[in-house]
Structure formats: C-alpha cells, structure tokens
Structure 1
C-alpha cells in the first residue's frame, strides 16, 4: 500500500517549498484521510439506521396486518413475492454493510501508510493494538461483525414468519 501512496517524484528534499511545508502538506492530507474515514463511518451508520427503521416498520405493518383473521388466509401467490422482496431488501442491506466495511478497510490502510511517516502511529497501529486487534470480543467487538448479522436475523425472521403462515 505504501508504494501506491507516495509520489516518488516529490519528497521533502525536492519539494518546491521548505521541508516544513512538505511535512505540513503530508499532515494535512493525513487529516483529510482520517476525516473522510470518519464520514464513511457516519454514512454507514445512516444506512444502517435507514434499513433498521424500514425493516422495523415493515415488521410492525406485517404483524398488524396479519393479526386480522381475514388477512391470514392470503393466497400463497401473494405471500411468496412479498417474501422475495423482503429477502432482497435484507440482501441489499447486507451488501451495503459489506461495501462500507471494504471502503473503510481501504481508507484505514491508507491512513496506516501515512502514519508510517508521522512521528506517532496513534490511530491505526497503537489504537488497534490497544483493542487487541479485534481478536478478543471482551476487549473489543468490531461493529462490522455485529452489523452483518442484523440483516441475516431479519431474513430468518421473515422466513420463519412466512413458514408459520403457510402451516
């Protein structure tokens, strides 16, 4: 990653400004990368909130609708397409979460490469090590591991609910 990050033609020695300006430029780019990683995390949180709200509202609607006796006998021809749409929404949510995780992983690799040239490697190296690198859930449970399960749990709930209706 480090090879792709650094422009070989420009370094502190051949930068057109004093070396201090070069280092300031590197630090400004580093701060921008950290800010962008934070923004991706915020957008990821908004996406999760959107999907969680949507699915929760759908479950409330379906529970209310199916609590009425005459709706319980809806034809299977209507139930199967609805189930497929709901499962498709769960798949879309899971793929969205996965995409944000991949994007953040790339951003943190770039941030780590920046930190190799900074006096301290606090954000990627030290903090991640302090959290046990996500290996022990009692020290730190990475959100990505948890959030991937939520769309799957909704999918299972939909499958079980529709199976119960079919019986």
Structure 2
C-alpha cells in the first residue's frame, strides 16, 4: 500500500524554512568567530605571561589579577558558548517543526542517522562538536590556575 503524497507546502512556509536555516547557519558562524577571538586572546594572554618581566610575575597581586582575569575570560567564553548552543537548539526546534510540513526532513533525518549509526572504528557514538568546544575554556582555566600555582610555589 503506497502512501498518499504529502501536500506541497506554501511558498511562505518554504521561505520561512530557508530563513530559519540561514539564521541557524549565521549563529554557527558567529560562534566560530567568537571562538577564534577568545582563543586568540587566551593564547596571547598566556604568551605574554610567559614573556613578562619576572619581577612582575612574582608579584602576588599581579599574579592574582592575571589569574582572575584569565579565569574570568574563560568563564565568559564558556557562557557565550552555552548561549550560542541554547540559541541554535531553539532554532533547530523551529526548523524541525517546519520540516514536518515538508516532503523531506533533511535535518531531522541527518540527526537521526548520526545518533543511530556510530563510526565503530573510533568512537562509540556521535560526539557533538559542542562537547569538545565547551571543554576548551576549562582547559584555559586550568592552565591559568596551574601558572598561578607555579608562580606561588616556584
């Protein structure tokens, strides 16, 4: 028994779908730009610490200020990543809802395929990029703390 063809969605629905997909893509692009900014600033920050005058880096006040600034920057980065993730999650809820009116559900089907068909040779399940992406600010937090402890103890 064959399925009845689905009705063709209105041009307005198609336009809204295209706009929603474009906006989700823009959010992802902004997130990438933001990541580049924070990564550059953090890398420069750590490099400057390594090249700073030893008298400055041995100062408890300077070391504390630099460590707190680095941790604050890392926390801001992580919060921004969380915000982008929440925004994209909401956008894809809308996209998936619109897809229910379309004859093809590209994003829903792609996500389902990723979730059920892992690449067995090197991972047990699909690992979202966001998971590793959100870990990077914590790596920098740990680095700032370790550098601070090194200054205090060394």
TM bucket (normalised to shorter chain) is: 0.7 to 0.9
Q: Distance in 2 between matches of 1:118 and 1:105?
A: 20
What residue in structure 2 maps to residue 143 of structure 1?
Answer: 129
- Deviations 1:27-52 (CA, angstroms, capped at 9, x unpaired): 01100000000000000000000000
Q: Distance in 2 between matches of 1:42 and 1:133?
A: 27
Q: CA deviation at 1:96?
A: 0.3
Structure 2 length normalisation: TM-score?
A: 0.85
Q: Distance in 2 between matches of 1:38 and 1:106?
A: 13
Q: Distance in 2 between matches of 1:52 and 1:37?
A: 22
Structure 1 spans left out of the alignment, 5+ residues: 1-18
Q: Distance in 1 between matches of 2:66 and 2:75?
A: 14
1:126 to 109, 112, 127: 109
Q: Distance in 1 between matches of 2:65 and 2:150?
A: 16
Q: Distance in 1 between matches of 2:77 and 2:54?
A: 32
CA contact (8 A) 2:63 2:151 kept: no
Q: Distance in 1 between matches of 2:16 and 2:33?
A: 26
Q: CA deviation at 1:119?
A: 0.6
Q: Distance in 2 between matches of 1:96 and 1:135?
A: 29
Aligned residue pair count? 144
Larger radius of gyration: 1
Structure number with greater CO (CA < 8 Å, separation at least 6) is: 2
- Deviations 1:57-84 (CA, angstroms, capped at 9, x unpaired): 111111111xx54444x32122112211
